[in-house]
Amino acid sequence: MVKRAKGHLARAERLQNATGALATASMAAMDEKLPWFGKLSAQDRSWIGLVAQSGITAFVEWFRDPEAHPSMPTGMFSSAPREFTRVISLHQTVDLLRTTIEMIENTIGDLLPPEDVPVVREAMQRYAREVAFAAATVYAKAAEMRGAWDARLEALVVDSVIRGEADESVRSRASALGWTGSGTPGAGGTGSSEVAVVVGRAPEAPGNANVADAVRHAAREAGADALCAMQGDRLVVVLGSTSKPVEIVQRLVEFFGPGPIVVGPVVPDLMAAVTSARAAVAGLRAAPAWPGAPRPVQADELLPERSLSGDGHARRQLASDVYGPLTMGDGVLLDTVSTYLDSGGSIEATARTLFIHPNTVRYRLKRVSDLTGYSPTNPRDAFTLRVALALGRLLNPAPGSPVL
């Protein structure tokens, strides 16, 4: 036993004396067999050489006494700077390991006595397996750190959009997260740069950390950009590169929690996304007032509920876009739709009240629908028109003058 131990130590010493030649041969083999290695900068190649030297030295120490250095393979990467994982990919690292192992196997026969070669090769195979696991661990940790940083950056970008603080720095951060702003024509994309903000409840299931990744992937499959963040009990998604966000959101419904999903209006770009965000958030707050709302629902479809819940933008929009056009001219359209709504939706009763033919009422109601986009004969649209008329009279008591 003692004799065997002395023989092993002597073999380790001979291997120790060969480390310099092995390190030099490793760098030469990398330069010869790996085309991308020669394209690296001198500093990057020195980093890799440092790791290779550290790995060979660590192998010798581990070979001398494996039980005393069980974690030696993992420690070999500690000599490389943090940027190492950004310089070369995991695939390239595997190529480096394979090249180094092949070089050692082919070289030790010239550097060591014949009786040492089988023992060292067997040990090298075991050690190479541990080094491969160590490399995978290094890259996994680096990817985890990048993922955590990207998640924080994405949450910051979405928060800036919601708060109306989007500027060029936010656009730059979004670009770093893969936001193109150009879209992918086909597969639901339009190749445009329109943006819409979507707000709904966060999923209730625990472990929803992967929701953002799933949302981005599904949106990308539909041809749109997406930024996603959890804000308390709500899930906020900023969709880009699509002029039809509702069609995209229909593919994302499964990632939201129960309850309404509100899609803000489309705006030109990320810088103007606060307008869409404001409408979507207000719509989510007001959506319970319309139990039969579709899912998803556009924020503009919730204008009456939003105005009742205190949304000043919705009030002004109804007063200007719905009430305002009806006050133009002689005001007969305003009188007609008001009488029609007060008559319970009866065309005949409206005609009798206004002393006109029922066909004239029908014509005027058609004009109201063309001007405002809301048909008085539709119950939902009639409700919106009634709220718009009330708001218009409150905000602009004098018919025919500009809406305040």
**In CATH, which superfamily holds the domain spanning 312-395?**
PucR C-terminal helix-turn-helix domain (1.10.10.2840)
Does the fold of domain 312-395 match that of domain 182-304? no
| pLDDT value at residue 104 | 74
| pLDDT value at residue 121 | 78
29-46 pLDDT, tens digit each: 888 888 877 777 777 777
| pLDDT value at residue 140 | 60
End-to-end alpha carbon distance in the chain: 100
- pLDDT band at 379, cuts 50/70/90? very high
40-79 pLDDT, tens digit each: 777 777 777 777 777 777 777 777 776 665 555 555 555 4
Domain positions in the chain are 2-145, 182-304, 312-395
Given 3.30.70.20, 2.60.40.10, 3.30.70.2730, 2.60.120.40, which CATH number is that of 182-304? 3.30.70.2730
- pLDDT band at 176, cuts 50/70/90? low
**What is the rounded average pLDDT of the residues 168-187?**
61
| pLDDT value at residue 6 | 67
Report how far residue 44's alpha carbon sits from residue 50's, in angstroms, rounded to the nearest whole number. Answer: 10
Is the pLDDT reported for residue 190 higher than 80? no
Is the pLDDT reported for residue 313 higher than 90? yes
Show contacts of 109-117: CB within 8 Å, 24+ apart.
Answer: 111/18, 111/21, 111/22, 112/11, 112/14, 112/15, 112/18, 113/14, 116/11, 116/14, 116/15
322-342 pLDDT, tens digit each: 999 999 878 899 999 999 999
Is the pLDDT reported for residue 153 higher than 70? no
- pLDDT band at 184, cuts 50/70/90? very low
Is the pLDDT reported for residue 90 higher than 70? no
298-311 pLDDT, tens digit each: 999 999 999 999 99
| pLDDT value at residue 87 | 66
